Structure 1
Amino acid sequence: MIDFHCHLDLYPKPQTIIERADQSGVYVLSVTTIPKAWPGTKRLAKGRRRIRTALGFHPELAHERYSELGLFDTLINEASYVGEVGLDGSKHLREHASLQRKVFAHVLKATERAGGRVMSIHSRGAADEVLELLRPRDAGVPVLHWFTGGPCELQNAINAGCWFSIGPAMLKSKAGRERAAAMPRNRLLPESDGPFGKVGRKILEPLDAGQIVPVLSELWAEPVSVVRYQLMENLRTIARFTRH
């Protein structure tokens, strides 16, 4: 079982969530939203061999935490993964679009300078802009989390070599299932996006990311066992790109 995008540090009781994930054998990518959160979030997973902690700079916080770019540069060599980073084109953030771009461009440059990383990327309302900033750089492997772009944007992302992480909340909508069906099977990973990801009133946690398996089984017209095998193969493949 895999959860390739989860905010472990933002649950009310993170150690409870971590313990359940560990006991269930879930491989978790624990993403952070600001550089200052990375050391403490990494400590949460100390001794948990299936949890990796990503160094993040969330676009919604770029205008508030711009001063932490230097800290990102300091920490990048210690981090195996980068995330959550990217751009957000939501209406309430448009006034900060220029600063978001500066922060994301800086993050990509620092990541490229460090030799590249697997990156969990936020692209809501800004998929083509994300690809535009990714294109000139060799910053590593981009994994677009909870992708919400249209068919053309999705095809552009596929052509650019992007991976995708998808969760139960995304697959609740017809549009989400259509996007998932169009994504390359060998570049797909499960996620929960907990505690932000929800199904009904239930806040998702790492174990819940596996709920996508029966949905993909239906979309791919393949047995559940085939879907599980493919997702684990995808994890093994992307793990080869990591430095630690």
Structure 2
Amino acid sequence: MKVMICDAHCHLDLMDDMVEFIDEIQKSNISLFAVGTTPKAYSRVVQCCRSSKNIYVGLGMHPQLISSGYDDMQLFEALFRQSHYIGEVGLDFSKEYIQTKKLQIEVFSEIIKLCEQCGEKVISIHSLKSSNKVLEILETYKRQKSNKYIFHWFTGSIPQIKKAIEMGCYFSINPRMMKTKSGIEIIKAIPFERILLETDAPFALKTKYIDVIRKELEGVVAKISDIVGSDVSHIINETSKEIFQF
């Protein structure tokens, strides 16, 4: 039997046929963190995944959707205690979304405060062009050792990585990161035991087949191992088990 492999950031609810995809996952050795983009989608995904032990549904509030009409902090707070998994949440200061910077900071700060009040959460964080502010917010509120913060598709600097590592954060790596010099340098700077895998499907990987997800994740492990000069498959698998408890 193939070893369980975990996709730590996948948008299950945005797949062409979510129900069929869920059925495929249940027959496979893939586990995945099904991150959400809005709290309005959360209950439906939970209901669809109720029989699946290897799908971890996240309660999301994507920074790109703040002020779009799809964000709803009141609903997020109402659902928060139901979910062990939180994400996708974070900040996005790219030019398309910088106009909502102030509100994004307010919302993300409230989410981190909620996580720290409760503990025992696994949180997937978006930090495009906003790594400093994300780290500042974590540094301000982070007190719980039981929370697991995962930087999804990190694009910040090496000093920022070191700061995140000091705070106990993890990083989920996808194939796009290995196609740039900066991405490779980021991977080299992360301790093996803080690395997770992700596809960010269907954004970074367009597919409707779970076998494609598996091959992509296996490819990521192989390329990371080549980059760091050591087989890291076992270490990544153990880290995934520790966080997602599969």
Output the TM-score relative to the length of structure 2: 0.88
Partners of 1:66 and 1:17 lie apart in 2 by: 25
Partners of 1:37 and 1:222 lie apart in 2 by: 40
What's the counterpart of residue 215 of structure 1?
223
What's the counterpart of residue 177 of structure 2?
170
Q: What is the SS of the residue equivalent to 1:123?
A: strand
Q: Does the 8 A contact of 2:39 with 2:71 survive in 1?
A: no
Unaligned regions of 5+ residues in structure 2, if any? none
Q: CA deviation at 1:65?
A: 4.5
What's the counterpart of residue 51 of structure 2?
47
Match status 1:3 vs 2:7? yes
Q: What is the SS of the residue equivalent to 1:222?
A: coil
1:135-194 deviation line (CA, Å, top 9, x unaligned): 122362210000011222222222222110011122222321221121111011101100
Partners of 1:67 and 1:194 lie apart in 2 by: 21
Q: Which amino acid aligns with 1:158?
A: I
Unaligned regions of 5+ residues in structure 1, if any? none
Partners of 2:244 and 2:96 lie apart in 1 by: 36
What's the counterpart of residue 155 of structure 1?
162
Match status 1:134 vs 2:125? no
Q: Does the 8 A contact of 1:7 with 1:194 survive in 2?
A: yes
Q: CA deviation at 1:15?
A: 2.5
Q: CA deviation at 1:236?
A: 2.2
221, 224, 229: which one aligns with 2:234: 229
Q: What is the SS of the residue equivalent to 1:189?
A: strand
Q: Does the 8 A contact of 1:3 with 1:190 survive in 2?
A: yes
What's the counterpart of residue 106 of structure 1?
110
Q: CA deviation at 1:228?
A: 2.0
Residue identity over aligned pairs, in percent, reads 34
Partners of 1:21 and 1:239 lie apart in 2 by: 16
Q: Does the 8 A contact of 1:190 with 1:210 survive in 2?
A: no
Q: Which amino acid aligns with 1:228?
A: S
Q: Does the 8 A contact of 2:39 with 2:72 survive in 1?
A: yes
Partners of 1:67 and 1:89 lie apart in 2 by: 17
Q: CA deviation at 1:210?
A: 2.5
Q: Does the 8 A contact of 2:150 with 2:169 survive in 1?
A: yes
Q: How many residues align?
A: 235
Q: Which amino acid aligns with 1:152?
A: P
Which deviates more, 184-193 or 157-166? Answer: 157-166
Partners of 1:173 and 1:19 lie apart in 2 by: 35
Partners of 1:228 and 1:63 lie apart in 2 by: 41
Q: CA deviation at 1:20?
A: 3.1
1:2-52 deviation line (CA, Å, top 9, x unaligned): 100000000111223323333331110000011111101112222111111
Q: Which amino acid aligns with 1:214?
A: A
Which consecutive aligned stretches of 4+ in structure 1 deviate over 6 angstroms post-superposition?
none
Match status 1:122 vs 2:126? yes
Partners of 2:43 and 2:167 lie apart in 1 by: 32
What's the counterpart of residue 72 of structure 2?
68
> Which residues of 2 match residues 15-34 of structure 1 at below 5 A?
15-34=19-38
Partners of 1:55 and 1:94 lie apart in 2 by: 23
